[in-house]
Amino acid sequence: MATAAAVLPCNAYASHSSGRWAMRLLIVTEASFFAYLLFSYFYLGSMASTWPPDGPPSLRIAGPDTVILLSSSATLWWAERAIKRGALSQLRAGLFITFVLGAVFLGLQAVEWSQKSFTPQTSAYGSLYFTVTGFHGAHVAAGLLMNLVVQFWAWRGFFSAERHELVSNAALYWHFVDAVWIAVFASLYLIPRLA
């Protein structure tokens, strides 16, 4: 017969929960993945005579799109902070606004892609541009799916000041995705302007 000390906390909601550690490990692996992609981008760029071949990508869409995505981190932080105080209605509002901002980001990215004069098959630059931004877009889409799951449980009244680990895990992932975009935006859009 197991003693109380030997029982595993299967439904832990604190920062030491298995879900929290799983999210942290996922973020470490995904951060490595993006680091490899950006290393490939800079490595190939260092060997090319002109990089990017047609000059730096335009900021006309990417600039405002970046502001939109980073704003979504602020709204999710606001939502997470609210549920830690037990404010469920503020959590619901923050999650919804975050979802809308993330969806707008993806929509504008699709518009930007449609206006490119190159494709993934055009050159190494084209391949890397679409791979890096595409994989980031896939991570945004995954974050939006997480957001919908959290919204579902929020509307069912599942979360409280004592029970909000799922919100915190989804927020951690979303903030990571936004931080990755800062690195992607700086690498693909800003650094080429300094050369």
DSSP string, 93-137: HHHHHHHHHHHHHHHHHHHHHHT-S--TTT-HHHHHHHHHHHHHH
Work out the burial of residue 8: count CB atoms within 10 Å of its CB; fewer than 13 is exposed, 13-18 middle, 19 or more buried. Answer: exposed
Count of alpha carbons within 13 angstroms of residue 14, beta-carbon side:
2
Range of the domain at 147: 60-194
Mean pLDDT by 10 residues, the chain (195 residues): 52 65 95 97 95 95 98 98 96 98 98 96 96 98 98 95 93 98 98 90
- Supply the pLDDT for residue 104: 98
Residue 34 lies in a domain: no
Query: Alpha-carbon distance 146 to 130, whole Å?
Result: 24
Residue 44 lies in a domain: no
What's 116's domain CATH number? 1.20.120.80
Residue 18 lies in a domain: no
**Number of domains into which the chain is organized:** 1
- Supply the pLDDT for residue 195: 73
- Supply the pLDDT for residue 13: 53
Query: Alpha-carbon distance 11 to 17, whole Å?
Result: 8
Residue 121 lies in a domain: yes
Residue 3 lies in a domain: no
- Supply the pLDDT for residue 8: 47
Packed helices 18-47 and 124-155: angle between N→C axes, nearest 10 degrees: 160
Residue 43 lies in a domain: no
